[in-house]
Structure 1
Amino acid sequence: MRIVVAIVRGAVAVAIVAAIVGQLVTSITFWSTGKPDLLGTTLGNFFSFFTIQSNLAAAVTLAIGAVVVLRERGQDPRWFAILLTSVTTYMVTTGIVYNVLLRGIELDSGLTQPWSNEIVHAIAPAYLLIDRLVAPGVRALPAKTIGVVVIFPLAWAAYTLLRAPLVTSPSTGTAGWYPYPFLDPRLSDNGYLSVAFYVVLIAIVIAAVGLGILWLSRRRVHASAPERT
């Protein structure tokens, strides 16, 4: 079982990296053809997407996890359990947000790679959740771990809202680039009030998903514990 999990974790990590590289090459080709002077900005924008950052974190975590599951015979080390819980939370949230809010938004066909899109937004998030359901070594963590889990998303939101007005949008050539339309105050009559609503909503989703994964881990540990007589 552990060998199978290690192989699958490694394969999914490779698939995620391939998807990110494939989309990066497509993005560079698309923007360098039209506006080569904005290539540096485009690269910065590419790696500012929460989806890209969470998938990179997932690839690294799964690669580490492939080694951990082979080396450890009991529960996962606490540091890895926290890392895996955090990354799983980010990936599942990415899948939920994309498929609920963003899947119907049309993008330029020359800018997207459909297979890459599906890996980072659907396949990888689904696998991370399945991993928590079946992989050995799961460790029960206290509910207060959610305080660690939410640090990165909050930092990303602050970074995004501070950076976005200062960045040139490659598509328009004007100031103001937001990785996701629901974060752009210019697209709503309510401006930043609308943005605040979505930030709070996503924070609630992240916390709920994180607490759900923590609960799932505890349930698995309790279910596998031998009954006392």
Structure 2
Amino acid sequence: MTEAAATATAARRWHLLTAVVVVAALLLQLVLVIDGGRVLDDQRPPDLGVRLGRLVSYFTIQSNLLVAIAAITLARDPSYDGRWWRAVRLAGLVGITVTGLVHFVLLRPLIDLSGWDWAADKLLHMVVPVLAVVGWLLFGPRPRVGLTEVRRAIAWPVAWLVWTLAVGTLTGWYPYPFLDVDAEGWARVLAAAGMVTLLFLALFAAAYQLDRRSRPAPSGASVSS
């Protein structure tokens, strides 16, 4: 087996592992929600329809879904490429990194979970981010990140934030405590959103630079329009 073939095999296995873990974590969280478990940080679970709506409103869930799409695709073809797929891959990569960092710094001390709720929380917020980031660093595919991809990918978190604050203003429900305008006030919420936005920009810039300067992966990968 050539070095390129061995690398491709290793990449497929890593992406497959990532896909299995993230899909299992999402399904576990879904089952827990349907069963009446807490939705990440909900203290008093509402009716099922509301719980499901809130579940898909979490940035954590959306970022894990994007990781799942990319991992499933790359498990089939580690060098896959496509104009809009690049943006999905980049958005998932940066989004899941923010998910892990924000959870570890801001949310972890506030959440007291046990049993399967604890397991789902750790898979979604810690295990999947590590698998996704390490997989990208080791196997790419790259180069895949240009300014066009950055502009397309960043539209998702901006839209999510605007939608979340709009829905929260109307319903009084916010997915994360630091976005709760009723409890924190607009000044503190906007300050927190500004800091997270800066984190996003820094991570997008880091991904762009690493993608441009790192060796192509898999071997022989090239940029296509």
Range of TM-score over shorter length: 0.7 to 0.9
- Cα deviation per residue 1:3-38 (whole Å; 9 max; x = unaligned)? 121122122112111111112222222269x98972
**Counterpart mapping for 1:8-157 below 5 A:** 8-30=14-36, 38-69=47-78, 72=79, 76-107=81-112, 109=114, 113-135=117-139, 137-139=141-143, 141-143=145-147, 145-157=149-161
Matched residues in 2 for 1:185 and 1:157: separation? 13
Alpha-carbon distance between aligned partners in 2 of 1:107 and 1:178, rounded to the nearest angstrom: 18
Shift of 1:187: 1.8
Which is higher, the Rg of structure 1 or of structure 2? 1
Alpha-carbon separation, structure 1, partners of 2:174 and 2:194: 17
State percent identity of aligned pairs. Answer: 30
Counterpart of 1:173 in structure 2 is none
Shift of 1:64: 0.8
Q: SS of the residue aligned with 1:210?
A: helix
Deviation at 1:128, TM superposition (A): 1.6
Q: Tell me what 1:172 maps to.
A: none
- Which amino acid counterpart does residue 102 of structure 1 have in structure 2? L
Displacement of 1:177 in angstroms is 1.0
Contact 1:132/1:217 (<8 A) preserved: no
* Runs of 4 or more consecutive aligned structure 1 residues displaced over 6 Å after TM superposition: 34-37, 222-225
CA distance in 2, matches of 1:51, 1:137: 23
Contact between 1:51 and 1:120, CA under 8 Å: does it hold in 2?
A: yes
Aligned: 1:179 with 2:172: no
2: CA distance, partners of 1:30 / 1:206: 33
Deviations 1:110-165 (A, max 9, x none): 8x622211111111111221122110541153345422221000000111111123
| Amino acid corresponding to residue 58 of structure 1 in structure 2 | V
Deviation string for 1:192-211 (max 9, x for gaps)? 11111111111111111111
Q: Is the 8 A contact 1:16 1:124 kept in 2?
A: yes
Distance 1:219 1:140, change over 3 A: farther
Paired residues of 1:139 and 1:218 also in contact (CA < 8 A) = yes
- Deviation of 1:76 (Å): 4.3
1:31–1:39 contact (8 Å) kept in structure 2: no
Bigger shift: 211-220 or 19-28? 19-28
Partner of 1:202: 196
Q: For residues 186 and 107 of structure 1, do their structure 2 counterparts lie closer, same or farther at Cα, with a shift above 3 Å needed?
A: farther
Work out whether residues 146 and 207 of structure 1, in 8 Å CA contact, stay in contact via their aligned partners in 2: no
Q: CA RMSD in A?
A: 2.6
Q: Decide whether the 8 Å contact of 1:81 with 1:139 is kept in 2.
A: no
| Counterpart-to-counterpart distance in 1, 2:57 and 2:216 | 39
Counterpart CA distance in 1 for 2:133 and 2:109 is 24
Distance 1:215 1:36 in 2: 43
Whether the aligned pair in 2 keeps the contact of 1:16 and 1:59 (CA below 8 Å) is yes
Q: What is the TM-score of this pair, normalised by structure 2?
A: 0.82
Q: Decide whether aligned partners of structure 1 residues 165 and 219 sit closer, same or farther in structure 2, where only a CA change above 3 A counts.
A: same
For structure 2, the 5+ residue unaligned runs are: 1-6, 221-225
